[in-house]
Structure 1
């Protein structure tokens, strides 16, 4: 292994450590606790080393968000694959999305609430972001002619439900009924 290869591997390992540590701190304490100074102390590198990898905290949040989008896409894809029918796929996708959002609050916040510079609905949209949207599109496609618009609408509805439940503004014991209502609206739209 050459010097350049070794340095590249070491840089990737440091970036992985920075992102993993940021994610751990955020899940344990909140994103407010994640600072460059704190990360440097936790991973035992100087702040300039962190700045050599990420220009600011928002870039670290974006790296965490990209991991989250990959994880969400995998779970949504699995939900669609396990479905027994198109309506089951729609219900499973919706439930999986909400379960993901509610079980990983700091990760979900990095993905959808905090500033990251990650763009959706753009020609430059990264594949990690696109994959989750594609899984939602597959779930709604049997029920509509304009799957991308319906997928965006379902995503918006699920995001709203997730945020309302995360902030204790709606009752969690009625989640299944809300999912059913959203799914029924999509199914009925085709009729």
Structure 2
């Protein structure tokens, strides 16, 4: 039994090493440089062994996307739990969303197709991709002064937030943004304005 557990643990470690090596390559050379052979070179395995864990490069990209959504959802849950008022929750969560994107630019690019082709059809199949929306939508519903807001109403407010924040993130990932101070001011002003529009509903 111990031997089986050890084999399973080694397999999981190898799988994690493959994903870590993939991100390392991307951070150093960009997404276009990622290949199964290059991953094998980094972890000092042969390419066929990589295929035992992931059918192709797209499978690795999908798993990294899943990882990104799990990290982002966890970050949002942590900051939301620190505030009682939904307005404060939303402000803190969108600032945490920004921080995630700036600290994990490569993952964010992959998750949302910034400067690369988005595997949108595959991402839509990931249950984890719903995590951030679920966290934000709960806070939006609590902020609304409506007994039973429709799904469309909640989606509209979420996408209003997301369009502004994602747009600012994309501008900065493309290196066309301004100073950190300016980014924070624009971000806070936009978030505050949208929160006020929800509170007036």
User: After TM superposition, is the score higher than 0.5?
Assistant: yes
Of residues 118, 134, 141 in structure 1, which corresponds to 2:122?
118
Of residues 159, 166, 173 in structure 1, which corresponds to 2:166?
159
Q: How many Å separate the matches in 2 of 1:32 and 1:166? A: 16
Counterparts of 1:71-150 in structure 2 under 5 Å?
71-83=71-83, 85-113=85-113, 114-116=117-119, 117-120=121-124, 124-126=125-127, 128-144=128-144, 145=149, 146-150=153-157
Q: How many Å separate the matches in 1 of 2:132 and 2:42? A: 32
Q: How many Å separate the matches in 2 of 1:119 and 1:156? A: 18
Equivalent residue, structure 1, for 2:40: 40
Q: How many Å separate the matches in 2 of 1:171 and 1:53? A: 42
Confirm or deny: 8 A CA contact 1:26 1:33 kept in the other structure: yes
Partner deviation per Cα, 1:152-174 (whole Å, 9 max, x = no partner)? 33223321111012213232432
SS at match of 1:83: coil
Deviation of the 1:50 alpha carbon: 0.9
TM-score (norm 2): 0.81
Q: How many Å separate the matches in 2 of 1:2 and 1:176? A: 52
Confirm or deny: 8 A CA contact 2:70 2:131 kept in the other structure: yes
Number of matched residues? 187
Deviation of the 1:38 alpha carbon: 0.8
Q: How many Å separate the matches in 2 of 1:153 and 1:184? A: 11
TM-score (norm 1): 0.84
What is the aligned-residue RMSD (CA, Å)? 2.3
| RCO higher in structure (CA 8 A, sep ≥6) | 1
Q: How many Å separate the matches in 2 of 1:181 and 1:152? A: 13
- In the superposition, relative to structure 1, how do residues 142 and 171 fare at CA in structure 2: closer, same or farther (>3 Å)? farther
Q: Which sections of structure 1, spanning at least 5 residues, go unmatched? A: none
Confirm or deny: 8 A CA contact 2:18 2:39 kept in the other structure: yes
Deviation of the 1:80 alpha carbon: 1.1
- In the superposition, relative to structure 1, how do residues 84 and 171 fare at CA in structure 2: closer, same or farther (>3 Å)? farther
Q: Which sections of structure 2, spanning at least 5 residues, go unmatched? A: none
